[in-house]
Amino acid sequence: MKKAFLVLALVATMFAAGQAQAQIIYAGYTPETFSSDNSSKNYQGFCVGFNTDFDLTKKLGVAVGAQFRMNMRSATQTLWGFTGKVKETQILVDVPILFNYKFAVNRDLAIIPFVGPMPSLALSGTTKGADPIFGENSSNWYGDNGYMRRFNLYGVLGASFSISDFNVFAGYRFGFLDLDKSDNVKTTTNGFFVGVGYEL
């Protein structure tokens, strides 16, 4: 709860720091890798979101927003010679706070590199399996009996290309926190992203 209040306070500070100049809605492709010691799992990911850009100076700004993101993975696993399917789904809400600098090429085109933190809260995470021995089963990643922590903090960097009212962006995010509750296992996340947006 304290982390949530800190995020809200930081967002409020950003809103007070500058004057709103642009609001953008966007969608993107956001695959993610979960790395645990010497192993990793790759998830397909997608997001939709919005942000509001505030001018701190003539060219320097900060974009504050929220995005809904989903990670998905399907795989097969073999146990005692029997093969079954596993489906995993994670749903998150992210709050990117991205400082940016605008390089105007001409009136309609600008290149905008950005960098900043992105607090993230997982709303749900489930693993569902089906195999000839145990049948259908599922497990919850979170809660009292879960093995994962909900809160993560990412570092984000990338660049966007503003063309009139349209925006094309790409970048990379890397998680700072260990998400596994076990003392013997460290799990972190990272992944690239690409997307398109429209300025309202």
- Rounded CA-CA distance 47/195 in Å is 9
Question: Is the pLDDT higher at 43 or at 9?
Answer: 43
At 38 the pLDDT is 80
CA distances in angstroms from 158 to 33, 77, 89, 169, listed in the order given: 18, 36, 26, 7
Q: Which of 181, 114, 178 lies closest to 152, judged by CA? A: 178
- Rounded CA-CA distance 109/163 in Å is 5
- Rounded CA-CA distance 165/185 in Å is 46
Nearest-5° Cα angle at 3, 19 to 18: 5
Beta strands in 56-81 (DSSP E): 60-79
At 13 the pLDDT is 52
Domain that holds residue 147: 2-89+106-157+180-199
**Number of domains the chain is built from:** 1
If you average pLDDT over residues 68-95, what whole number do you get? 86
- pLDDT > 80? residue 1: no
- pLDDT > 80? residue 179: yes
Q: Give the pLDDT band of residue 18 (cuts 50, 70, 90).
A: very low
| Averaged pLDDT score across all residues of the chain | 87
Structure tokens at 183: 């003392």
If you average pLDDT over residues 104-129, what whole number do you get? 94
At 124 the pLDDT is 96
Residue 197, classed as helix, strand or coil, is: strand
Give the best-scoring range by mean pLDDT among 6-20, 72-86, 156-170.
156-170
- pLDDT > 80? residue 77: no
Q: Is residue 70 part of a domain?
A: yes
Look up the pTM and report it: 0.85
Q: Is residue 82 part of a domain?
A: yes
Q: Is residue 167 part of a domain?
A: no
Q: Give the pLDDT band of residue 61 (cuts 50, 70, 90).
A: very high
Q: Is residue 127 part of a domain?
A: yes
Q: Is residue 171 part of a domain?
A: no
If you average pLDDT over residues 10-25, what whole number do you get? 62
Q: Is residue 164 part of a domain?
A: no
At 2 the pLDDT is 54
